[in-house]
Each structure stands twice: as C-alpha cells, then as structure tokens.
Chain A
C-alpha cells in the first residue's frame, strides 16, 4: 500500500521529463521528491479534482513555488538566517496570540505565558517541516502554528479533565439540544420552493445578499467580496453561516 500511487509512474516520469527539458535536470530532481511526497499525502489528489491535465498543472505550480521559495527555505532551514527568522517569528507570535484570544483566553495570559512558549515551539516545528511548494508560505506556516497551539490546548485540557460522570450528563444535555439530523431536507421533490424563498428573506440583509449572489447569480466568492465590500474570508463565513441559518429556519 505504501507504494500505491493514484497516477501511473510513466505519467509522472514523462511530466518530470518535460520539467527537465524546460528547466534542467537540477530543478527536476528537486521537484521529484516534493511531488512524490505531495502525492502520498493527498495534496495532489485534492488539487486535481478531476481537472484535465492536473498533473501537468500541479507540477507547473510546484516549479513556480520552487523558484519563488527555495532560496527563502535555504536561508530559513539550512542557514538559519536571523533576519528571516526575526521577521517570521513576529508573524508566528501574532498568530499564536490571535488563536488563543479567539478561543477565549485572557489577553494578558496569552501575551506573557502562551505567546513566548508556543512561538518557540511552532518555530521549531517550522524549522523541521518540509515545505510543500504548492502554496504560499503563510497558509502552510499558519497550519503548523495552529496545530502546535491546539496540541497545547488538548494537553492542557487533559490535565484539567472533567470527571467522567459529569461529562456524560453534559453530553446528554448537548445531544438533546442539537438539531435532529432526521429533520434534514431529504427529498428535494417535496420541497416547497416558496418556503425556501421565504426563509431566504428571513436572513439578515448581508447573508441574504451572499446567498442570492452565490446561488442565483453564480458569482465566485471573490466577486461577491468585491460587490459587498467584504473580504473573501468574510464571504465564506457569511455563506456557511447563511446556509446553517436557512436549515434552522426550515427545521423550525
């Protein structure tokens, strides 16, 4: 199973051969292990999403990422350049702070205790990690920082575990308040479109606007962000919140 690849070896070989032709063997030999690792961890499969010429497009993306970032990573991980690390650590410490404050931690405690410790820990993880070259640095590094923070939170929560009997009661209470999955919309044929239109009209104006633009006018999230003067992140958030709202309205 370890050697199972979702694409034939000869397709990989011919794609890498075209990299060799275009950029030289030195680049091709650097790209190969990155590609193989990304195929094995599923990133390529996610990227491909049944796109035609997916491997070619993905390798182009890796090559682009390689040219953009391999010097940076040489400095970061091999030379351990102080200037680069100083700049990155500022970002890491801010992310650590933001993650904990968003989870309801006290800002003073986050600043004095958590940020110094977890910035160090996340930096060590980034120093040791392999960059995937199919993304910008920030989303990749942020995932590592976030995983480090959540590992810390899980370990801290284990130390203050709630007694098992109380946990059971709490779980039961939560279970009773969750929407029943059986209430989900199972049969679109029976759906009353008028009820759905009415439910859309009960959304907040901003969420209603996102739903209309997304589903009825088929705008991409970036276009909706431009139209509504919001960030793309806010549009995704409003979109998912809006359909959760709709489901709740229709279930009531």
Chain B
C-alpha cells in the first residue's frame, strides 16, 4: 500500500485542513437524534455507499446529518458493515443454518399490504394526440346505429391498481342539436381482478369535473363546452387532458 504524506503544495494543504476543520466543527459525538426522513432514506444511502458513491460529495446534506448525529453515524456504519464486511470465520462457524420456516406464508388470514395513502393513477393525452383523435379521417363509430353522431376515443388505457387491471375508455360524442358542446362518457371495467369503485377526476383546459365511478361500464360525465379546450377560432385544441382515477376509500 502506498502511504501518502501531507501535500507539499500549500494551497492543497490549506484546503485539506479547511475541509477537515469544517467536518470537525460539525462532528457530534453524542447526538442521539435520527430524523425520520434520514431513517426512511437510510437504505438508499447505504445502497449508494456499497456501490462506491462518495456520500460526502454526492449527498452533502445527509453527510452533514451523519456528522451531527452519533446515532445515525453508528447506524450507517453498522448497516454498511453488515451488508458488506467480510465476517470472521469465528462468527460464521457459530451460525447454525436452519431449514427455512415458511409457515407464515400459508396462514389462513389474507396478507394485507397497507394501501398507499394516495393510490391513484393519472392518465394524460397531449393536445397534439387529442387533435389527431378529433380530426382523424375516420372517427370510430359506436354501434351500428347511424342516427348517432360518431364517437371520438379521447383516451384508452389499461393499468394495474391494487391487484386489479382496469380498462378505461374516455369517449366524446357530438351533440345531436348543439354544436358547442361534447358529450363525455367514461367506461371503466376490470379486465382482470375485482372491480373496486373509483373516483375520477378529469381536467382538460378550463373544464374540471370529479365524479364517482361506482360500477363497471359507462358513466356519463358533464357536457364539455368546446370553448374550454379549443382556441378562439375553434380549430385547434390547446390543452392537454388529465384523467386521475383513485380507489374510493
């Protein structure tokens, strides 16, 4: 191993001393407080340290907390050591490997994964995508009844939420007699798994609506005035569409 000596260059020496003094000033040998956020982020930092990332330069705020909290510092070192450190043969020899006990996997009660506080999906279509849907050469026809105005598929998607795959189609249809509004309907079904009621929230330009989707199939939404999403001359869509679906509590 090549041993290093203090640098001959005075600037390099001064800079090094200054960095060390900064760390010495922040060092606390008795701080027992660990912030909840630091504890929650610890596996991320440990992972980075194990991958060779320099925590001092890449995560200066966390490094500062490491210096200021003895408890966090000890925890960090223990974690890195337990995951990486070569364990002495003496310790390995005293560990008795036992057959895995997997009984807990087959208990009668179902495993409940605690739901995320905001378990939701946001789907979006850009104004350009919506223009294509609106002014496609052939708009999709809904059913065989030609007396109806053609429907426009504004958004179609599938997503997985809480073990259920949902299929969503948001469609618009021109009104039979009025030319300033679009009739909207939201079709939601469970493609796989059990359907759970959802709360939908649609934002498109100035148009905002929120409605419960309590059953599979079509749910009508309030009529959309074209003026809320088109430009003044009503020949270009100027707003993106955002549809948010949340599992109802």
B96 sits at the interface (CB 8 A): yes
* Contacting pair B94 A196 (CB below 8 A): no
Contact in complex: B24, A185 (CB < 8 Å): yes
Query: Do residues A243 and B85 form an inter-chain contact, with CB atoms below 8 A?
Result: no
Any B CB within 8 A of the CB of A138: yes
The answer to whether A128 and B114 touch (CB under 8 A), given A26-B160, A217-B7, A222-B52, is: yes
Question: Which A39-76 residues have C-beta < 8 A from chain B?
Answer: 40-43, 45-47, 49
How many whole Å from B175's CB to the nearest CB in chain A?
Answer: 30
Contact of A232 with B100 at beta-carbon distance under 8 Å, contacts A49-B61, A111-B95 already known: no
Please choose the segment from B118-126, B133-141, B142-150 that sits at the chain A interface, where 4 or more of its residues have CB less than 8 A away: B118-126
Confirm or deny: B180 has a beta carbon within 8 angstroms of a beta carbon on chain A.
no
A212 to chain B, nearest CB (A): 4
Report whether A243 and B37 are in contact in the complex, using a CB–CB cutoff of 8 Å: no
A118 to chain B minimum Cβ distance, whole angstroms, is: 12
Least CB distance from A208 to B in Å reads 9
Shortest CB-to-CB span from A39 to chain B, Å, is: 10
Indicate whether B232 reaches chain A with its CB closer than 8 angstroms.
no
Proximity string of chain B (65-95) to chain A, C-beta cutoff 8 Å, 1 when within and 0 when not: 0110000010011111111111100010011
Chain A residues lying within 8 Å of B55, measured Cβ to Cβ, are 221, 236
> Of A29, A119, A234, which is within 8 A of B121 by CB?
A29
Whether A89 contacts B102 in the complex (CB less than 8 A), given A17-B124, A111-B94, comes out as: yes
- When distances are taken between beta carbons in the complex, the residues of chain A under 8 Å from B102 are 82, 85-86, 89
Question: Quick check: A95 and B45 within 8 Å, CB to CB?
Answer: no
* Cβ-based interface call for A135 (8 A): yes
Residue B214 lies at the interface, judged by CB distance under 8 Å to chain A = no
A151: chain B residues at CB < 8 Å are none
* A243 and B23 in contact, given A142-B82, A227-B2 (Cβ under 8 angstroms): yes
Q: Does B12 sit at the interface, judged by CB under 8 A?
A: yes
Q: Say yes or no: is B179 at the interface (Cβ < 8 Å to chain A).
A: no
Measured between alpha carbons, how far is A212 from B19 in the docked complex, in Å? 11
Chain B: residues with Cβ within 8 Å of the partner, total of 97
Do A196 and B17 touch (CB < 8 A)?
Answer: yes
User: Which residues of chain A are near B118, meaning CB under 8 Å?
Assistant: 3, 33, 36, 40
Return the contact of A13 from the options B1, B103, B122 (Cβ within 8 A): B122
Whether a CB of chain A sits under 8 angstroms from the CB of B176 is no
Instruction: Establish whether residues B84 and A232, one from each chain, have CB atoms under 8 Å apart when the complex forms.
Output: yes
Asked if residues A197 and B79 are in contact (CB atoms below 8 Å), the reply is: no
Bound together, the chains give a CA A142 to CA B76 distance in angstroms of: 12
Kindly count the residue-residue contacts between A and B in the assembled complex, taking CB atoms under 8 Å apart. 263
A77 touching B113 by the CB < 8 A rule? yes
Asked if A46 meets B44 with Cβ closer than 8 Å, knowing A86-B102, A127-B105, A130-B113, the reply is yes
**Contacting pair A193 B17 (CB below 8 A):** yes
Taking the closest CB of chain B, its distance from the CB of A197, in whole angstroms, is 7
B132 at the interface (CB under 8 A from A): no
Max chain B C-beta neighbours (<10 A), residue from A41, A95, A221: A221
Does chain A have a CB within 8 A of B217? no
* Residues B52 and A42 in contact, CB atoms below 8 Å apart: no
CA–CA, A115 and B123, complex, Å: 46
A239–chain B nearest beta-carbon distance, Å: 9
Residue of A nearest to B125 (CB): A17
Closest to B45 in A: A46
- Beyond A107-B94, A120-B101, whether A43 also contacts B41 by CB under 8 A is yes
Q: Which residue of B lies closest to A46 (CB)?
A: B41
CA distance A221 to B104 in the complex (A): 41
Find chain A residues with CB under 8 A from B105 CB.
Answer: 80, 82, 85, 127
Q: A32-B121, A90-B100, A123-B104 are in contact. Are A186 and B25 (CB under 8 A)?
A: yes
The 6 lowest CB-CB distance pairs between A and B, nearest first, are: A222-B52, A216-B16, A42-B37, A220-B54, A29-B159, A46-B41
Chain A residues with CB under 8 Å of chain B are 2-3, 13, 16-17, 25-26, 29-30, 32-33, 36-37, 40-43, 45-47, 49, 77-78, 80, 82, 85-86, 89-90, 93-95, 97-99, 101-102, 107, 111, 115-116, 119-120, 123-124, 127-128, 130, 132, 134-136, 138-140, 142-143, 146, 178-179, 181, 184-186, 188, 191, 193, 196-197, 205, 209, 211-218, 220-222, 225, 227-229, 231-234, 236-237, 240, 243-244, 246-247, 250
Q: List 15 A-B contacts (CB under 8 A).
A: A29-B161, A46-B44, A47-B41, A85-B102, A95-B82, A116-B101, A127-B105, A146-B79, A209-B3, A209-B4, A217-B4, A233-B83, A236-B55, A236-B76, A243-B24
